[in-house]
Amino acid sequence: MPVVTRRGPGLHQRLSHSMLMNVGLADLSCADDAAFIDVATRLAADSGRLLDRRRALRPRLRASALGSPQDYAAGFCALMEDVVRRHRLR
């Protein structure tokens, strides 16, 4: 089921945001409490949209890097190499 999340500094917030971004549901990741309430209320009130999101979620997940551990690991490694290079950690 798609969830609405509140972006923030916490690990759980960053993970939720990342997962939603990876499956093309960035609109469910909110920057503040007002946006969270707005998005959650609109989604809950639109049963057709919610059903469409539920039906599309599994295929979206499979098609994303999250659905392919090899692609996810390669992307993560590339990201870490970029962080090391940008921050001159080597």
Read off the pLDDT of each residue in 67-78 and give the average, rounded to a whole number.
90
Q: For residue 2, what pLDDT band results from cuts at 50, 70 and 90?
A: confident
Give the number of other CB atoms < 10 A from CB of residue 22: 18
Going 34 to 36 to 15 to 86, the CA torsion angle's sign is negative
pLDDT per residue over 5-41, tens digit each?
A: 999 999 999 999 998 998 999 999 999 999 999 999 9
User: 90: which 2 tokens?
Assistant: 């080597």
pTM, rounded to two decimals: 0.73
Rounded to whole angstroms, the Cα distance separating 64 from 22 reads: 6
Residue appearing with tokens 């993970």: 15
